[in-house]
Amino acid sequence: MASLKLAFLCHLCLLLVGIVCAVYKGADISFVTQQEKDGQPFLDSNGKKTDLFALMKSYGMNAVRLRVWVNPAGGWCNKVDTLNKAKRAKAQGMALMIDFHYADSWADPGQQPIPSAWKGHSLEQLVTDVYKHTYEVLSYLKSNGISVLWVQVGNEINNGMLWPIAKTPNYAAISKLINSGYKASKAVYPNALRLRTAQFNSYFEALKKAGTNYDAVGISHYPNKSNWQQLNAQSEITMKQMISKFGKKVVVAEIGMKWSDADASEAMLADIFTRVTAMGSNGIGVFYWEPNLTPDHYEMGAMDSSGKFTKAITSYNRY
């Protein structure tokens, strides 16, 4: 992963529906149900098996990010799986971000595959597909008592989405798809603050020219123990530029560091919390990407091989 991406957290159609918080401290834990099926334990500091959502809350986390796929293998991250996780987040009083990939599996800067059910569709058909899928999932969550604060319309779409139809530099097509997802989000959750992320100022200028609507910008941030101070400062400069130049709120929508560098990771997280908090109402929060993954699956998580969070996560309780 790149150490710093204004990476489409993209177009995070951030839905802020009236909840006030100094700064949201969260994590994307979309793998949790699959981990539980595979027998992965989550342990507190005393080695006691604990529900992951309750464990996160005990460490000071107050928000969760969940990805949604269109027709995924095994049903993981479909609307039913997402609802199950959302209910558990709600039970812990956590705010919720929904991250639409608009794919059957991973969508990121290196791949934006069209879902199998949408293949062969024209741009206008894809605009309708995005609307229907977004509306269907959000309506399903809402009808089951779930409040969604943020909706991310497209995942890391620095290079566009639903390739090849809306690949950069076709900003007109990208804008149509983003606006369709935003419109569907607004239809379900009317008080919508939309957020997007991308890599360069020129990207935002192009989307502005294409008539894209959004209210907030997200960055993905993956430093290492040698460069985190430099990259934290760089990310702050980038976020302040988004605030001053584009008038948008900002969020660190993904963050992580190698699990074995827990001391450095703790310091890095504490520093980024300080920087985001200092932005006042313009700084939404910080979300760790899958801290619940153990080293045999992902080295940038924050959990050791036994299922305990590393020291890095203690930084959440400071803010």
pLDDT at residue 9 in the model: 36
Query: Cβ(274)–Cβ(283) under 8 Å?
Result: no
Q: Are 225 and 245 in contact (CB under 8 A)?
A: no
- Cα dihedral sign, 37-31-29-143: negative
- CA–CA gap between residue 153 and residue 56 (Å, rounded): 25
**Domain with 305 in it: what CATH number?**
3.20.20.80
Closest CA to 152 of 239, 92, 216, 227: 216
Domain that holds residue 306: 4-318
- DSSP conformation class of 7: -
Does the pTM surpass 0.85? The reply is: yes
Q: Are 211 and 29 in contact (CB under 8 A)?
A: no
CA–CA dist 304, 51 (Å, integer):
16
Residue among 236, 252, 272 at smallest CA distance from 197: 252
Token pair for residue 305? 């091989």
Please give the tally of structural domains in the chain.
1
Of the CA atoms within 13 Å of residue 108, those in its CB half-sphere come to 9
Give the per-residue pLDDT at 242.
87
pLDDT digits (tens, 9 = 90+) for 105-117: 999 999 999 999 9
Q: Low-confidence residues of the chain, pLDDT below 50?
A: 1-20
Bridge-based pairing state of the strands 216-221 and 249-255: parallel
